[in-house]
Amino acid sequence: MTENYRVQLILIDLPPFETEVLKFICQRSNSLYNQAIYFVRRNHEMTHPGLLPNIPYSVLCSELKDLWNYSMLCAQAAQQTLKSVHEGLDSYKGLMVTVHGGVHHAHKRQSLAKQKLWVLCASKYRT
């Protein structure tokens, strides 16, 4: 038996100018996110090849604050974007340690079939 989930769609009727402003802000945030990921990967490949990326949030902010996309956003929005990049990297590192290190502390109580499924799903994100 399948369950149906209902989602409430919220439509905002904005004037065209405000729609363009929101679109611009979202594009700048997305571009900053991509630039931060590129910076981390490039920095990691030059300094620590073969290891998992590890860069502090403070370094990420100080290195990227001079970018145009950072300056087009208010400081809080730009910092929140960089925090989400940092959280994503931490999550990726945790996933890689779990998959490659064989650590399954959080999944000990699951059945063997669920553990295999979890490992198969996690192994798709290997680099």
Phi (first) and psi of residue 107, to 5 degrees: -120, 20
Domain with 113, as residue range(s), is 16-123
User: In the chain, how many domains are there?
Assistant: 1
Q: Does any domain span residue 82?
A: yes
Query: So what's the pLDDT on residue 14?
Result: 85
Q: Does any domain span residue 101?
A: yes
| pLDDT tens over the chain, length 127 residues | 566 777 777 777 889 899 899 999 999 999 999 999 999 988 888 887 777 778 889 999 999 999 999 999 999 999 999 999 998 888 888 887 777 675 544 444 444 444 444 444 444 444 4
Q: Does any domain span residue 1?
A: no
CA distance 36 to 112: 38
pTM over 0.85: no
Place of tokens 């931060």: 36
What the block records as the tokens of 125 is 């994100």
- Residue 61's contacts (CB-CB under 8 Å, 6 or more residues apart) are 79, 82
Where do runs of H (alpha helix) occur along the chain?
16-47, 57-64, 68-72, 75-101, 112-123
